């Protein structure tokens, strides 16, 4: 154990880092929290600010449009992170097999993730373009559709199309983390299981997956947080349309702040969204703890 002096030293060494951390995270957070209880507006002149208690929160929580935006965000998060997980693991397992050209493929697969979100969004918008987009052309030539159709202009498909673009961009991250984890799975364990007659699926389910669960969880938490605050891809691809069908919580906050200039009210929406993200993260952590406690079962 550390002595008294060493303890002091430890805090002294930590102090600068903690000070900077507090400055860049705690101050804005406290400021946002304070804003959310006021009627502050963005102006270029000094305007009176009033403390209005919970009014912003009551307005936000009774706003059906915001509730709808929250559900949409949840849908986006669950579906896109879910697909990224499945696709990521599948690709990682494939890339973990020895075959010719594996190295090239491993390098190629990271490309979508390396593309900036804005570029990705613009590219997919062109792919979905109703008159000359590649998707229509492909499906038409395969005989799967008889007429060119609108993809992100149709509220019944728009959200899923945005999700597809997001999955394409982000699954490589999951795949890479999973691939790294897969390389630590002990080969002899898998061989022993194979000799015992365990099917490939059973081996994957009972040995591989629990083995890589830890790193996988980290990347899934990361992706969940990112997905929950999705903004840029929506802004570029659909701007929340058609008929609000892709308007997510972050987009809502952005509008409240920068379009309607109500920073007080916008802050309350932001606090609510941050709160929900915190809950999601807690769920993941408790799952991780249970996983660790339960061993490889």
Q: Does 155 bind another protein (CB under 8 A)?
A: yes
Residue closer to another protein by CB (options 77, 136) is 136
Options 154, 182, 193, 291; binder of another protein; rule CB under 8 A = 154
* Positions in 223-242 near another protein (CB under 8 A): 239-242
Q: Does 157 bind another protein (CB under 8 A)?
A: no
Residue closer to another protein by CB (options 109, 272) is 272
**Closest distance of CB 231 from another protein, Å:** 13
* Positions in 23-52 near another protein (CB under 8 A): 41-45
CA atoms within 13 A on the CB side of 96: 20
Options 20, 30, 261, 292; binder of another protein; rule CB under 8 A = 261
Q: How far is CA 160 from the centre of its chain?
A: 15
Dihedral sign from CA coordinates of 115, 116, 118, 121: positive
Residue closer to another protein by CB (options 153, 215) is 153
Q: Does 82 bind another protein (CB under 8 A)?
A: no
Q: Does 150 bind another protein (CB under 8 A)?
A: yes
Task: With beta carbons less than 8 A apart as the criterion, state whether 48 and 134 touch.
Answer: no
User: How many residues of this chain interact with another protein, rule: CB under 8 A?
Assistant: 27
Q: Does 146 bind another protein (CB under 8 A)?
A: no
Residue closer to another protein by CB (options 19, 258) is 258
Residue closer to another protein by CB (options 9, 65) is 65
Applying CB under 8 A, the residues found at the interface with another protein are 41-45, 59, 65, 130-131, 150, 152-155, 239-244, 255, 258-262, 265
């Amino acid at each position: 154990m550390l002595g008294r002096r060493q303890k002091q030293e430890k805090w002294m060494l930590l102090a600068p880092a903690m000070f900077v951390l507090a400055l860049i995270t705690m101050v804005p957070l406290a400021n946002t929290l304070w804003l959310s209880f006021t009627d502050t507006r963005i102006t270029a002149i000094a305007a009176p600010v009033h403390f209005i208690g919970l009014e912003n929160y009551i307005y936000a929580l009774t706003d059906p449009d915001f509730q709808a935006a929250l559900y949409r965000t949840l849908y986006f998060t669950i579906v896109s992170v879910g697909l990224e997980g499945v696709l990521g693991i599948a690709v990682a397992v494939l890339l973990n097999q020895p075959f010719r050209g594996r190295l090239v493929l491993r390098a190629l697969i990271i490309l979508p993730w390396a593309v900036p979100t804005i570029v990705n969004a613009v590219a997919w918008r062109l792919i979905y373009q109703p008159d000359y987009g590649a998707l229509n052309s492909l499906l038409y030539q395969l005989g799967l559709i008889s007429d060119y159709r609108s993809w992100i202009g149709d509220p019944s498909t728009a959200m899923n199309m945005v999700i597809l673009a997001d999955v394409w961009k982000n699954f490589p991250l999951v795949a890479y983390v999973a691939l790294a984890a897969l390389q630590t799975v002990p080969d002899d364990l898998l061989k022993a299981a194979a000799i015992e007659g365990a099917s490939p699926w059973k081996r994957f389910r009972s040995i591989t997956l629990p083995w890589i669960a830890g790193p996988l969880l980290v990347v899934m938490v990361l992706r969940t947080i990112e997905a929950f605050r999705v903004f840029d891809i929506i802004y570029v691809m659909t701007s929340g349309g058609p008929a609000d069908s892709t308007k997510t919580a972050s987009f809502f906050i952005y509008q409240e702040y920068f379009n309607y200039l109500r920073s007080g009210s916008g802050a309350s929406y932001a606090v609510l969204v941050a709160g929900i993200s915190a809950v999601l993260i807690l769920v993941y952590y408790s799952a991780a703890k249970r996983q660790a406690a339960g061993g490889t079962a």
